[in-house]
Amino acid sequence: MEATTLNQFHHENGDRQSELKAFDETKAGVKGLIDAGITKLPPIFIHPKTTQNSSNINPTADKHSIPIIDLEGIHGNEMKRREVVEAIGEASKTWGFFQVVNHGIPINVLEEIMSGVRGFHEQDTEVKKEWYTRDRSRRVVYNCNFDLYTAPAANWRDTIFCFMAPNPPHPQELPPVCSDILIKYSKEVKEVGGVLFELLSEALGLNPNYFKDIECSKGLAVLGHYYPPCPEPDLTLGNTKHSDDTFLTILLQDDIGGLQVFHQNQWVDVPPSPGALVVNIGDLLQLMTNDRFKSSEHRVLANQCGPRISVAGFFTTYMLPSSRVCGPIKELLSDENRPKYRETTVKEYVAHFHAKGLDGTSALLHFKL
Ligand code: OGA
Ligand code: NI
C-alpha cells in the first residue's frame, strides 16, 4: 500500500471506529436513527458492493422454495410420523431450512410475542436504554449488532436477546412490556424444539431421545429482532450472510419478508407464511452430523416498508457451565464417512463465532480436520 493510501485507510478506519462508538453510545439503536429522521444511510451501515442486495439479484430464484412440513398427526399416526421424519431428514440434508405448520403453538401466542417484541423496541427510548449492554453474561441483552465493532459493516437491525431456558427467569428480570409473553412463548418453543429434535434423531436412524439426552434441547435463547424501515435499503443489509451458531433455530417472522437462504449458489426467498415457523439447522448440528445436515447460510434484506419483526429461538447451551464435548456422532461414522470436524465445546464454538463476527465466512471452517 502506498503511503497516501495507507494514511487514508488509517484515517477512514479511525473515523469508522469513532462513528461506531458515538452511535453505540446513543443506546438507541437503528430505531433511534429513524426517530431522529435521517434520510441517508450513515457510512457505518454501508456494505461492500459485492454483498449488497443489488449485486445479487437472480431472476431464476423463484424456481423452488424451502419445504413446508405439516406436523399434524405425528403423535398418533405411525405412518404420518414416518413421512414427516423422511421429509425433515431430506429438508435438513438439502436445504438446512424448512417451515412447519400445525406445530401446536396457538396463533394468539404467536401474535402476542410479535407485539411484545415490537412493544419493547417501540417503548420510550429512555426506558429501553436501561437494557442496552454488550455484557453477554447478562440474562437480557439489548443492543444494535452483537458484532458492531468487529464486523466489516453494520446491519440495519436492533435486537433484544434473552436467555430463557434452562432456569426460566422471573418476570421481574425481564422488560415489563414483554416479560409474560416471553416466558409463555419460550415454553411453547421448547416444546416444539423437543419434538423437532426427536424427529431429527429419527431421521438419522438414532434413538428418538438422542439429541435430548446430550442436552441439545436444554438451552434456549430468544432473540427479538427489529428491522426498521431503511432510507437506502440497497446499500445495507438487515442481517449479513451467516449460518447460526446453534444446534437448531426456530424462527417466527412477520409478513414483510426479506429472509433469504443461500441454496445451490443463489439466494432463495423464505416467504412469510402465516402461522408457520421457520426451522433451520445450526452449525453445531452440521458438525455433529458430519455434514449430513446443512447449516445453510442466510441473510435478511433491509426493507423500506417495515419495521420488520422476527423472533428467533436459538437452541444453544453456551450460557451453561457444561463442558460437554460436541463432535461428529460416532454412530454415523464409518470408514467411508470419516470425521470431518474436531471435537469442541459449545462455549468454544460460540466464542469463536462471536470473536469473528458476521464477516460472510463460516465459523465451521475453523473446526474442520
Ligand atoms: C438470526 C437470523 C433471521 C430473521 O437471528 O440468526 O438469521 O429473519 N434471523 O430475523
Ligand atoms: Ni440466522
* Per-residue model confidence as pLDDT tens digits over 212-223: 999 999 999 999
pLDDT digits (tens, 9 = 90+) for 134-168: 998 899 999 999 999 999 999 999 999 999 999 99
Q: If you take atom 9 of ligand 1, which residue's CA is the nearest one?
A: 312
Return the ligand 1 atom nearest residue 157 CA. 10
**Residue 131: which of 119, 120, 140, 144 has the closest Cα?**
140
Q: Is 157 in the pocket of ligand 1 (CB under 6 A)?
A: no
338 C-alpha to ligand 1 centroid (Å):
32
What integer pLDDT is reported at residue 360 of this predicted model?
A: 80
User: Ligand 1 pocket check: which of 251, 253, 315, 362 to mutate, most ligand atoms within 8 Å of Cβ?
Assistant: 251
Are β-strands 140-143 and 298-301 bridged in parallel, bridged antiparallel, or unpaired? unpaired
Per-residue confidence band for 4, with pLDDT thresholds at 50, 70 and 90: very low
Q: Produce one character per residue of 30-55: b if its CB has 16 or more CB atoms within 10 Å, e if not.
A: bbbbbeeeeeebeebbebeeebbbee
Q: Among 5-9, 11-15, 304-308, which is the least confidently predicted range?
A: 5-9
Return the ligand 1 atom nearest residue 253 CA. 8
Q: Is 299 in the pocket of ligand 1 (CB under 6 A)?
A: no
What integer pLDDT is reported at residue 341 of this predicted model?
A: 97
Place of cell 428467533: 312
What integer pLDDT is reported at residue 247 of this predicted model?
A: 97
Per-residue confidence band for 35, with pLDDT thresholds at 50, 70 and 90: very high
What integer pLDDT is reported at residue 168 of this predicted model?
A: 92
Per-residue confidence band for 51, with pLDDT thresholds at 50, 70 and 90: confident
Return the ligand 1 atom nearest residue 238 CA. 10
- Rounded mean pLDDT, 180-204: 98
Cα 365 from chain centre: 19
Q: For the whole model, what pTM was predicted?
A: 0.94
- Rounded mean pLDDT, 12-38: 93
Q: Is the dihedral of CA 343, 361, 143, 316 positive or negative?
A: negative
Q: Which residues contact 345 (CB under 8 A, 6 or more apart)?
A: 322, 323, 324, 325, 326
295 C-alpha to ligand 2 centroid (Å):
10
Q: Who has greater pLDDT, 136 or 311?
A: 311
Structural domains in the chain plus CATH codes: 3-367 (2.60.120.330)
User: Ligand 1 pocket check: which of 143, 239, 241, 281 to mutate, most ligand atoms within 8 Å of Cβ?
Assistant: 239
Q: Among 32-41, 95-104, 203-212, 318-327, which is the least confidently predicted range?
A: 318-327
What integer pLDDT is reported at residue 3 of this predicted model?
A: 45
CA–CA dist 199, 74 (Å, integer): 9
Q: Is 217 in the pocket of ligand 1 (CB under 6 A)?
A: no
What integer pLDDT is reported at residue 359 of this predicted model?
A: 85
Q: Is the dihedral of CA 261, 262, 266, 267 positive or negative?
A: positive
What integer pLDDT is reported at residue 281 of this predicted model?
A: 98
Q: Is 295 in the pocket of ligand 1 (CB under 6 A)?
A: no
Q: Is 253 in the pocket of ligand 1 (CB under 6 A)?
A: yes
What integer pLDDT is reported at residue 361 of this predicted model?
A: 86
Does the bond joining 233 to the residue before it have cis omega, within 30 degrees of 0?
no
User: Ligand 1 pocket check: which of 118, 249, 255, 273 to mutate, most ligand atoms within 8 Å of Cβ?
Assistant: 249
Q: If you take atom 1 of ligand 1, which residue's CA is the nearest one?
A: 312
CA triple 227-231-232, angle to 5 deg = 95
